[in-house]
């Protein structure tokens, strides 16, 4: 039976020391009760308190940290099956495989490419999360050290031979890499390596029953931080990951109470991207892929970004005047809504046009143009008031205003009730903005 915050609080030191990162012991107790923190996150709790609380209060899915402080990646400690129930907390990370067949020079170059695989999208930076380095080379420790030196992101050590993985893990244990992967043939040996080096271990089973048995064996050998590893097997893999998550969250089944990862196996780069996105949407905490080209990575990254937004919080930008490309007194003026995807789409296309412009953002409570109009969250009157408050007229000599092509009905009212003498109906789609702005000011 789940413990209440007060029951947990009674077993804490009650010193409000803040060493756990929270302001009070009561706040910490409430986080533990909500399965967002583990009792062991309190550095001062007594052994008696741990014993009384550890099993009942542990999060259903263990939090796993890969990498040293400052460049770590976290998965796990999720609390719901479906996003609308609350939200998903820790976005899926993409891991790029660095093959053992590469020379040290080529491996280093590929790691550098992974470091630089960063892409701006709707106000966020999408990037590769991990490098999965195959270490079954002539010098496993040397390959691991090279990867640790070159990589700006956490590492996964990939292999099946215990001696190679042991040498690699010991060489860079201060970097806290994850060992990938243990199976029925080597779980005890790899678990001992992981326990000794104090690093996470990925465990793979041919079935959920075998996987649950293997996590138990790994834990008996002292490996606490485990990740459930699944093979890319289409619908069956999705079913298995669903069952594992449900068993952990709904049944508190501890042998499967760990985050999941998937090694995508596909016969083409296109299919690898499709499968990677599907598995990311269905609970994979890490997606291990071979591709490193932007067109291979971005479909997965965009899926992750969309799935891991908080559905209870509007995705908005600040409603203010934005200056794109250093506009001047003769630059065009346009407006859009404060829905972040709408704003960044418009701003991105304005940048692409190479025509500096002012963008007035109207507060629509995070709705796009059509939804805002349908929901009565935007009106010509609100647009006029917003533009006046942002004082864009003080920055330009002309009185031409470009409005979204989906709101032509606003044209007459804005011209009649504001200083903007010429209202120009702009494109309906953001992608049409560059060609449209090339005509400025001769529409």
What's the pLDDT tens digit per position in 385-395? 999 999 999 99
Statement: residue 35 has pLDDT above 80: no
Contact 356/331 with Cβ under 8 angstroms?
yes
Give the chain's domains with CATH numbers: 5-57 (1.10.15.40), 64-307 (3.20.20.20), 321-437 (3.40.50.11600)
Surface-to-core class of residue 187, CB atoms within 10 Å of its CB (0-12 exposed, 13-18 middle, 19+ buried):
buried
Residue 337 Cα distances to 95, 115, 124, 355, 359, angstroms: 35, 34, 18, 20, 10
Residue-level pLDDT at 57: 60
CB contact burial 90-102 (16+ within 10 A = b; e otherwise): bbbbbbbbbebeb
Q: Confidence class of residue 39 from pLDDT cuts 50, 70 and 90?
A: confident
Quote the pTM value: 0.78
What does the angle CA 430 – CA 434 – CA 437 come to, to the nearest 5 degrees? 110
What are the distances in angstroms from CA 214 to CA 68, 189, 418?
26, 12, 71
Residue 418 has which token pair? Answer: 């504001």
**Exposed / middle / buried, residue 181 (Cβ in 10 Å: 0-12, 13-18, 19+):** buried
pLDDT tens-place string over residues 289-317: 999 999 999 999 999 999 998 887 778 99
User: What phi and psi values does residue 301 have, to the nearest 5 degrees?
Assistant: -60, -40
For position 54, what pLDDT does the model report? 64
Give mean pLDDT, residues 48-74.
Answer: 83
Would you give the DSSP letter of residue 303?
A: H
Which range among 33-37, 209-213, 355-359 shows the weakest confidence by mean pLDDT? 33-37
Maximum distance among all Cα pairs of the chain, rounded to whole angstroms = 80
High-pLDDT (> 70) share of the chain, %: 98
Average pLDDT over residues 69-92: 91
Are 157 and 178 in contact by the 8 Å Cβ rule? The answer is yes
* Mean pLDDT, the chain, integer: 93
pLDDT tens for residues 349-361? Answer: 999 999 999 999 9
**pLDDT (0 to 100) of residue 315:** 85
Phi, psi dihedral angles at 146 (to 5 degrees):
-60, -45
Tens-place pLDDT, residues 315-337: 899 999 999 999 999 999 999 99
User: Which of 421 and 441 is assigned the larger pLDDT?
Assistant: 421
pLDDT-based confidence at 420, cuts 50/70/90? very high
Q: Specify the pLDDT at position 2.
A: 64
d(CA 215, CA 40): 20
375, 367 in Cβ contact below 8 A? Answer: yes
End-to-end CA distance of the chain: 69
Give the model's pLDDT for residue 164.
96
- Determine the Cα–Cα distance for residues 162 and 188; give it in Å rounded to an integer: 10
- Read off the tokens for 202: 């990925």
Please determine, for residue 36, whether its predicted confidence score (pLDDT) is greater than 80: no
Q: How would residue 106 be classed by pLDDT, with cut points 50, 70 and 90?
A: very high
């Amino acid at each position: 039976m789940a413990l209440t915050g007060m029951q947990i609080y009674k077993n804490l030191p009650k010193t409000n020391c803040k060493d756990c990162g929270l302001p009070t012991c009561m706040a910490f107790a409430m986080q533990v009760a909500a399965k967002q923190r583990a009792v062991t996150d309190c550095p001062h709790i007594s052994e008696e308190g741990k014993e009384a609380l550890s099993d009942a209060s542990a999060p259903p899915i263990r939090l796993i940290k890969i990498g040293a402080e400052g460049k770590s990646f976290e998965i796990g400690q999720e609390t719901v099956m479906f996003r609308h129930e609350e939200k998903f907390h820790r976005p899926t990370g993409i891991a790029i495989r660095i093959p053992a067949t590469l020379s040290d020079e080529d491996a280093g170059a590929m790691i550098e490419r992974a470091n630089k695989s960063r892409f701006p999208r709707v106000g966020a930076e999408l990037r590769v999360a991990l490098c999965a380095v195959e270490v079954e080379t002539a010098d496993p420790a040397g390959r691991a050290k090279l990867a640790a030196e070159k990589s700006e992101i956490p590492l996964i050590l990939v292999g099946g031979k215990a001696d190679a993985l042991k040498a690699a893990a010991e060489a860079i244990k201060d970097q806290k890499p994850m060992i990938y992967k243990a199976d029925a043939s080597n779980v005890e040996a790899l678990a001992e390596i992981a326990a000794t080096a104090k690093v996470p271990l990925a465990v793979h089973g041919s079935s959920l029953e075998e996987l649950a048995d293997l996590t138990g064996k790994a834990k008996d050998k002292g490996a606490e931080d485990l990740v459930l590893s699944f093979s890319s097997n289409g619908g069956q893999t999705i079913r298995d990951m669903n069952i594992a998550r449900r068993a952990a969250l709904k049944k508190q089944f501890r042998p499967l109470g760990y985050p999941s990862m998937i090694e995508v196996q596909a016969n083409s780069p296109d299919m690898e991207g499709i499968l990677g996105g599907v598995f990311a949407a269905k609970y994979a905490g890490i997606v291990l892929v071979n591709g490193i080209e932007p067109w291979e990575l971005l479909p997965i990254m965009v899926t992750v970004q969309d799935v891991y937004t908080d559905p209870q919080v509007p995705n908005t930008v600040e409603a203010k005047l934005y200056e794109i490309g250093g506009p001047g007194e003769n630059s065009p003026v346009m407006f859009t809504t404060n829905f972040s995807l709408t704003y960044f789409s418009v701003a991105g296309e304005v940048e692409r046009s190479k025509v500096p412009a002012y963008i007035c953002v109207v507060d629509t409570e995070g709705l796009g143009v059509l939804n805002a109009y349908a929901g009565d969250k935007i009106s010509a009157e609100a647009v006029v008031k917003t533009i006046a408050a942002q004082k864009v007229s003080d920055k330009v000599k002309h009185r031409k205003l470009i409005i979204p092509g989906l709101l032509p009905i606003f044209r007459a009212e804005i011209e009649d009730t504001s200083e903007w003498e010429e209202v120009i109906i702009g494109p309906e789609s953001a992608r049409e903005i560059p060609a449209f702005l090339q005509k400025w000011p001769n529409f």
